[in-house]
C-alpha cells in the first residue's frame, strides 16, 4: 500500500499514535476492513460506505446529516466524546474547532482505518491535540491515556447508526471496554476526590522531614528470612512461632501490626506505613519502646509518624509512590542531583503488599507472610491487640459492647462467605487478588510462604531470574546531596503562582478533591483555579 494519501495520514498519526501508524503503513491488504470505496453524493461529495454498500451519511445532503450528529452537544462545556467510526470525520469536525471538546474516534481494526486513509485527508484532524484515534484492539490503553476527568469534564459515547448496524458485535465490545475503563477511572477518581488534599499536605511535610535526614545506607541481614507481619486474625496463631524463631527473622511490621507485636513482647526491625489518614497515627500514639526500628514511610503517609520517629532517634527511610506530586519532586531532585526516595509498589492500597515489595527490593530471597488474611476469620476483623481493641473498649457500654462495634465494622458493607468461619468483602477480595498478581509478576529469585492455622503454605517460588534483578532500597554507592526542601518549595510556589502547565499533572488529584468540594468544576472552569488552591496549600508549608 503506497498511496500518497495513506502516507500523509500515517505521518500525521505518528505524533500521537506511532505504533498504530506503523501497523497501518505496513499492511499488505485491507480484506478485514469494514469499509468499501466511498460513494458519490448528489452534491458531488465523497461519502464513506460500508462493505454492504450502505453509506454512513445521506447521499442527498451528507453535510447536514453529519452536522446533526452532535447537535445536542454544548460546545461551551468541557466534554470528552468517544465516537464509534472515524468515517470521514465530518460528523465531529465542527466540534473539534472548540477547545473544550476532545474526540476519541474508535474503529473496528487497523484495516478499516487504512481504507479510510486511502480515500480521505485527515492530516489536520490528526494533528489536533484534542483528537485521538484508535481501534478496538488498543481502545483500553488509548482511552485511559486520553481521558482525564479533571480536565476533560463529562464523558459520552456516540456512534453512527449505520456503522453500529453493520458492526453490532464490535459495538458491543466497545461498550464493554468503555464500561470497564470508566469503572476503574471512577474508582480512582473517587479515591482522589476524598484523599487528594490530605496527600498534598502529607507529601510536602514529609519532603521537609526528608530534607532533615542525612543520606543513609541500610545494611539488611539478607541471610535471614524476612517476616512480613499483617494484622489479620491469623496473626494470633503466629505469635508463638515468631517468638521462638525471632533471631532467624528480620521482622517487617505493617503499621497496624506494629502495636500488636509490641504487646506480645516482639520489637519489629522495620515498620511500613503508607496510609495518609489522620487515624493512621493512632497506631503510633504510644511512646516508642526504643530507637532500633527502621520506619519505612510512604511520602503520602501521615507526616506525624516520620516526624515522631525522627525525633525519637529511629532511622527513617521514605519511599515514593506514583503520586504526580511525588514524581514532580523526584524530577526536581534528579535535575539538581539530590537524593530522592526509591519507589515501592503501593498501587494496591494495602500496606501488606507494600511491605512485601520493600522486602523484595531490599534483596531478601525468602519471605514469610503472617496475618495476611484479607478476610474476617472466626468473627474477628484483626488480631488481638490492635489500636481498635482499646478504642472500642473505651467506647463500649452495656447496650453497645465492643463486640457490637466490631460487628458493625465487619458488616458495614455486604460480605461474601468463604467457609463456615470466614467471610470477606469485595474490597478485601481485591486486596487478596492484588497480592496474587504481585506474586505472579514478581521477577526475582524468591520463595514466599504464607502462615495460617494449618501452618505454612508456599505460594511462590522462583529461581530462574539472574541475580541482581532487584533495585535495592538503600542508597547506591554514589551518594547524592540531601533533598533541599527550601529550594524546592520556592520553585514549586513560583511555578504554581504562574500556572506553569508543566505542573498540570501534579495538581490533577487535587483537582478531583476541589471538584467534590465545589471549588472547581471540570466541565466549565479553568484548571488554573486548582493551581491557585495548590499554591495556598503549599504556602502554608513555609509558615
Q: Report the CATH number at residue 82.
A: 3.40.50
Asked if residue 386 is part of any domain, the answer here is: no
491 in the same domain as 457: no
443 and 506 share a domain? Answer: no
Exposure of 516 in the CB half-sphere (CA atoms within 13 A): 16
Residue 469 domain-assigned? no
Nearest by Cα to 13 from 115, 122, 110, 86: 122
pLDDT digits (tens, 9 = 90+) for 290-330: 999 999 999 999 999 999 999 999 999 999 999 999 999 99
Reply yes or no on whether the pLDDT at 393 is more than 50. no
**Strand spans (E) along 7-159:** 35-40, 46-50, 79-84, 101-107, 131-135, 154-159
- Rounded Cα gap, residues 69 and 161, in angstroms: 10
What value does the mean pLDDT of the chain take?
Answer: 87
Residues 124 and 269 in one domain: no
Helix (H, G, I), strand (E, B) or coil at 73: coil
Helix (H, G, I), strand (E, B) or coil at 45: coil
**How high is the pLDDT of residue 265?**
93
Residues 142 and 278 in one domain: no
My answer on whether 241 and 274 are in the same domain is yes
Residue 393 located in a structural domain: no
What was the pLDDT predicted at 467? 54
Please, which pLDDT band fits residue 465 given cuts at 50, 70 and 90? low
Q: Is the pLDDT of residue 420 over 90?
A: no
Q: Residue 314 has what pLDDT?
A: 94
Kindly tell me if the per-residue pLDDT of 386 is higher than 70: no
Residues 445-452 have a mean pLDDT of 90
Q: Based on the domain organization, do 235 and 115 belong to the same domain?
A: no
Q: How confident is the model at residue 217 (pLDDT cuts 50, 70, 90)?
A: confident
Same domain, 495 and 458: no
- Look at residue 474 and tell me if it is in a domain: no
The secondary structure of residue 350, as a DSSP letter, is -
Average pLDDT over residues 194-202: 94
**Mean pLDDT score, 165-185:** 95
In terms of domains, do 434 and 510 share one?
A: no
| Per-residue confidence (pLDDT) for residue 7, from 0 to 100 | 93
* Same domain, residue pair 62 and 142: yes
pLDDT of residue 453: 79
Report the pLDDT averaged over residues 378-382: 60
Residue 157 and residue 253 in one domain:
no
- How many angstroms separate the CA atoms of 230 and 238, rounded? 11
**Whole-number percent of the chain with pLDDT over 90:** 65
Tally the C-alpha atoms within 13 A of residue 395's C-alpha that lie toward its C-beta.
12
- Does the global pTM surpass 0.85? no
- Kindly state whether residue 180 falls inside one of the protein's structural domains: no
Reported as a pLDDT band with limits 50, 70 and 90, residue 387 is low
What pLDDT is attached to residue 410?
Answer: 47
Evaluate whether residue 12 is within a structural domain: yes
| Same-domain pairing of 107 and 231 | no
Residue-level pLDDT at 1: 45
pLDDT at 354 over 90: yes
How many domains is the chain built from? 3
Q: Quick one: pLDDT at residue 431?
A: 78
**Can you give the residue range of the structural domain that contains 350?**
213-374+428-462
* C-alpha pair distances (Å), 457 with each of 14, 109, 225, 367, 461: 50, 46, 15, 12, 11
Please write the tens of the pLDDT for every residue from 92-130: 999 999 999 999 999 999 999 999 999 999 999 999 999
By three-state DSSP, how is residue 159 classified?
A: strand
- If asked whether residues 137 and 10 sit together in one domain, one would say yes
Domain assignment present for 298:
yes
- Please state, in angstroms and as integers, the Cα–Cα distance from residue 31 to each residue in 21, 114, 174, following that order: 18, 11, 21
Phi-psi region at 456: left, alpha or beta (left = phi > 0; alpha = psi -120 to 50): beta
- Assign 409 a pLDDT band (cuts: 50, 70, 90): very low
Does residue 118 form part of some domain?
yes
Instruction: Please state, in angstroms and rounded to a whole number, the distance separating the CA atoms of residues 120 and 56.
Output: 14
**Residue that terminates a domain, selected from 166, 196, 226:** 166
Amino acid at each position: 500500500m503506497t498511496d500518497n494519501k495513506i502516507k500523509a495520514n500515517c505521518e500525521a498519526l505518528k505524533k500521537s499514535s506511532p505504533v498504530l501508524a506503523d501497523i497501518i503503513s505496513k499492511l499488505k491488504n485491507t480484506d478485514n476492513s469494514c469499509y468499501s470505496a466511498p460513494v458519490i453524493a448528489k452534491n458531488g461529495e465523497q461519502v464513506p460506505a460500508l462493505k454492504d454498500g450502505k453509506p454512513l451519511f445521506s447521499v442527498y445532503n451528507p453535510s447536514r446529516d453529519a452536522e446533526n450528529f452532535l447537535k445536542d452537544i454544548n460546545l461551551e462545556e468541557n466534554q470528552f466524546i468517544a465516537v464509534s467510526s472515524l468515517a470521514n470525520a465530518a460528523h465531529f469536525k465542527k466540534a473539534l474547532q472548540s477547545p473544550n471538546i476532545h474526540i476519541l474516534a474508535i474503529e473496528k481494526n487497523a484495516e478499516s482505518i487504512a481504507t479510510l486513509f486511502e480515500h480521505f485527508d485527515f492530516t489536520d484532524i490528526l494533528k489536533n491535540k484534542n483528537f485521538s484515534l484508535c481501534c478496538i484492539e488498543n481502545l483500553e490503553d488509548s482511552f485511559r491515556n486520553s481521558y482525564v476527568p479533571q480536565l476533560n469534564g463529562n464523558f459520552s459515547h456516540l456512534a453512527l447508526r449505520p456503522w453500529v448496524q453493520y458492526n453490532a458485535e464490535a459495538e458491543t465490545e466497545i461498550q464493554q471496554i468503555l464500561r470497564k475503563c470508566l469503572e476503574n477511572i471512577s474508582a480512582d477518581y473517587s479515591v482522589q476526590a476524598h484523599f487528594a488534599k490530605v496527600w498534598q499536605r502529607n507529601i510536602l511535610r514529609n519532603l521537609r522531614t526528608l530534607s532533615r535526614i542525612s543520606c543513609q545506607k541500610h545494611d539488611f541481614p539478607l541471610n535471614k528470612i524476612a517476616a512480613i507481619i499483617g494484622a489479620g486474625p491469623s496473626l494470633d496463631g503466629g505469635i508463638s512461632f515468631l517468638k521462638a524463631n525471632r533471631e532467624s527473622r528480620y521482622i517487617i511490621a505493617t503499621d497496624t501490626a506494629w502495636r500488636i507485636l509490641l504487646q506480645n513482647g516482639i520489637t519489629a526491625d522495620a515498620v511500613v506505613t503508607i496510609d495518609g489518614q489522620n487515624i493512621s497515627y493512632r497506631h503510633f500514639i504510644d511512646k516508642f519502646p526504643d530507637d532500633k526500628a527502621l520506619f519505612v514511610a510512604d511520602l503520602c503517609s501521615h507526616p506525624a509518624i516520620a516526624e515522631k520517629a525522627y525525633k525519637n532517634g529511629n532511622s527513617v527511610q521514605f519511599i515514593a509512590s506514583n503520586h504526580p506530586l511525588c514524581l514532580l519532586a523526584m524530577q526536581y531532585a534528579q535535575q539538581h542531583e539530590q537524593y530522592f526516595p526509591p519507589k515501592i509498589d503501593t498501587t494496591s492500597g494495602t500496606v501488606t503488599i507494600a511491605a512485601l515489595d520493600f522486602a523484595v527490593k531490599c534483596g531478601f530471597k525468602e519471605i514469610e507472610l503472617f496475618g495476611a488474611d484479607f478476610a474476617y476469620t472466626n468473627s474477628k476483623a484483626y488480631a488481638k491487640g490492635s489500636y481498635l481493641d482499646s478504642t472500642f473498649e473505651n467506647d463500649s457500654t452495656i447496650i453497645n459492647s465492643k463486640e457490637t462495634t466490631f460487628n458493625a465494622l465487619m458488616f458495614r458493607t455486604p460480605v461474601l462467605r468463604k467457609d463456615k468461619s470466614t467471610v470477606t468483602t469485595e474490597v478485601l477480595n481485591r486486596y487478596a487478588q492484588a497480592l496474587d498478581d504481585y506474586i505472579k509478576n514478581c521477577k526475582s529469585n524468591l520463595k514466599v510462604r504464607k502462615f495460617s492455622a494449618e501452618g505454612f503454605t508456599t505460594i511462590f517460588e522462583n529461581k530462574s531470574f539472574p541475580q541482581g534483578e532487584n533495585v535495592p532500597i538503600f542508597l547506591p554507592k554514589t551518594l547524592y546531596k540531601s533533598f533541599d526542601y527550601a529550594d524546592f518549595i520556592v520553585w514549586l510556589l513560583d511555578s504554581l503562582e504562574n500556572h506553569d502547565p508543566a505542573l498540570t499533572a501534579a495538581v490533577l488529584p487535587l483537582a478531583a478533591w476541589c471538584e467534590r468540594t465545589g471549588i472547581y468544576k471540570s466541565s466549565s472552569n479553568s484548571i488554573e483555579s486548582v493551581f491557585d488552591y495548590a499554591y495556598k496549600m503549599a504556602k502554608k508549608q513555609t509558615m
